[in-house]
Amino acid sequence: MRVMMLSWEFPPQQVGGLSQHVFELSRSLVKAGYQVDVITAGGDNLPEKETMSGINVWRVTPYHGGKERDFIDWMQRLNFALLERGAVLFNHKGRFDLIHAHDWLVTFAARGLKGIYSTPLLATIHATEFGRNNGLHTGNQRYISDLEWWLGYEAWKVICCSKHMKEELQYVFQLPEDKVEIIPNGIRPEAYEAAGITPDIKGITFQPDEKIIFYIGRLVPEKGVQVLLEAAPGILQRFPQTKVIIAGTGPYEEYLKGRARELGLEGKVFFCGYIDDQTRNELYSLASIAVFPSLYEPFGIVALEAMITGTPVVVSSVGGLEEIVEHQVDGLKAYPGDSRSLAEQVCQLLENEERAASLAEKAYQKAKTFSWDEIARKTAEVYREIVLSPENRRWQQEAARERMQEAITVQKAEDAPQIPYLI
């Protein structure tokens, strides 16, 4: 089966978890015998065409013109380029059995290719604008939400990552129950093995007797890092020999740094910025606890990452995190947005290392079940259901007949005698 994958980001370019998700899913599908072509946005010094782990990767540049600083405008120009590249692949390399689109940023290209080539469309919606912002408050937010709705409407099936997300999609977009499939994100355990541990990372020196609280993720309000900062004074009062390490970048970074200064957390809270995979793995190995205090989280892949490294986790009881972590079994949960609750859960693990180790071991065993090969198998089942469905066959047959009739009509028009106009 030939699959065209559309995603606005793909390794080595990575803004959030979407890039790695598309790569790991595509790689596992290729292992299972599928041909996968990924069309994505290009960047400086990146090849337009390359093969990565058996995946055909095609990178495009958004058309020039428009407002360079306007993200919506950039997205629209990117879609023209994605559509053009997709058309070239259809026309010169043969038909694809299915188009798999990831999130709203590729909606226009996905809809266009579906209609032009009568190819069924599958969408994965990783999050919603409504959920990220706890409602729709601006024109841009409503526009993005409309594109999410359109993508879901045009798709034969919609994949989401958790029960929480399915309920959200049904609430926000009124998607039918049988149109939405739940397939969780996966993890590759070998990617989180630390090659070694150094006492100095990103200019931060770690002492053997220190407790390390680790957060990694985007620095945006919905990730709740501000809640962790508010919890930090209470934690440090009980456990003074503690450092809080915050890794990641985002538009909220300067605010968070300022808030840390206001709380008197200098020398205790450290912002690492972007870190590579090896540094991430070293910090997980050093960490006493990994904390993910999200206010909104469709799935929570970072919690799985921590769990596969054997790091005890404290998460907020929200969204997909609530489904991944079972309280007092393989981690602890805090009330969303409640800094006192978060501090209490963290302190429970810091004061009882044996309990923390027991939870971490159970979490590790759970994380191993989220393999990308299994996620790819479940995704392939959805592919086959769509492609082999009687509805798809009828649709493609009708579309073929329409194209044939259009070709006949055009040919007749070309063969008809031309009557000159009188001027």
* Residues in contact with 338: Cβ distance below 8 Å, sequence separation at least 6, in sequence order: 227
**CATH code at position 139:** 3.40.50.2000
Q: Is the dihedral of CA 185, 188, 189, 194 positive or negative?
A: negative
Cβ–Cβ < 8 Å for 87, 116: yes
Q: Classify residue 420: in a domain, yes or no.
A: no
Place of tokens 């609430």: 171
Q: Can you give the pLDDT at residue 65? A: 64
Under a CB-based contact definition with an 8 Å cutoff, are residues 45 and 34 in contact?
no
In a shared domain, residues 111 and 249: no
Query: Model-level pTM?
Result: 0.83
Same domain, 196 and 275: yes
DSSP letters of 165-186?
HHHHHHHHH---GGGEEE----
Query: Does 292 share its domain with 310?
Result: yes
Q: How many domains does the chain have?
A: 2
Strand partners, 334: 316
**Exposure pattern of 2-12 as b/e (b: 16+ CB <10 Å)?**
ebbbbbbbbbe
State the pLDDT at residue 68: 61
Query: End-to-end alpha-carbon separation of the chain, Å?
Result: 57
Calpha distance 14→334 (Å, rounded): 29
Q: What angle do CA 361, 363, 366 make, to 5 degrees?
A: 115
In which domain, by residue range, is 48 found?
Answer: 2-186+373-404
253-262 vs 225-238: helix axis angle to the nearest 10?
30
Domain assignment present for 416 = no
Q: What is the largest CA-CA distance in the chain?
A: 97
Helix extents (H) in 239-338: 253-262, 277-286, 301-308, 319-324
Same domain, yes or no: 169 and 238: no
**Residue 409 within a domain:** no
71 plus 204 within the same structural domain? no
Peptide bond before 208: cis, by omega within 30 degrees of 0?
no
212 within some domain? yes
Q: Do the domain assignments include residue 411?
A: no
Helix (H) or strand (E) holding 391, with range, is helix 390-415
Distances (CA, A) of 12 to 9, 41, 44, 47, 329: 9, 11, 11, 11, 36
Pair (99, 238) in one structural domain: no
Tens-binned pLDDT, residue by residue, of the chain (423 aa): 999 999 999 999 887 789 999 999 999 999 999 999 999 999 888 999 999 999 999 999 998 765 567 889 999 999 999 999 999 999 998 999 999 999 999 999 999 999 999 999 999 999 999 999 999 999 999 999 999 999 999 999 999 999 999 999 999 999 999 999 999 999 988 888 876 667 678 888 888 889 999 999 999 999 999 999 999 999 999 999 999 999 999 999 999 999 999 999 999 999 999 998 899 999 999 999 999 999 999 888 889 999 999 999 999 999 889 999 999 999 999 999 999 999 999 999 999 999 999 999 999 999 998 999 999 999 999 999 999 998 888 888 887 777 667 666 656 666 666 555 444
Cβ-contact 148, 333 below 8 angstroms: no
> Helix H segments across 334-389?
339-351, 353-367, 372-387
Token pair for 399: 């579309």
Specify the amino acid at residue 17.
Answer: G
234 and 152 share one domain: no
What integer pLDDT is reported at residue 409 of this predicted model? 66
Task: Give the span between the Cα atoms of 49 and 96, in whole angstroms.
Answer: 18
d(CA 374, CA 369): 8
Give the pairing of strands 269-273 and 204-205.
unpaired
Residue 421 lies in a domain: no
Q: Which amino acid makes up residue 423?
A: I
Same domain, 169 and 57: yes
> Which pLDDT does position 327 carry in this prediction?
96
- Is 334 within a domain? yes
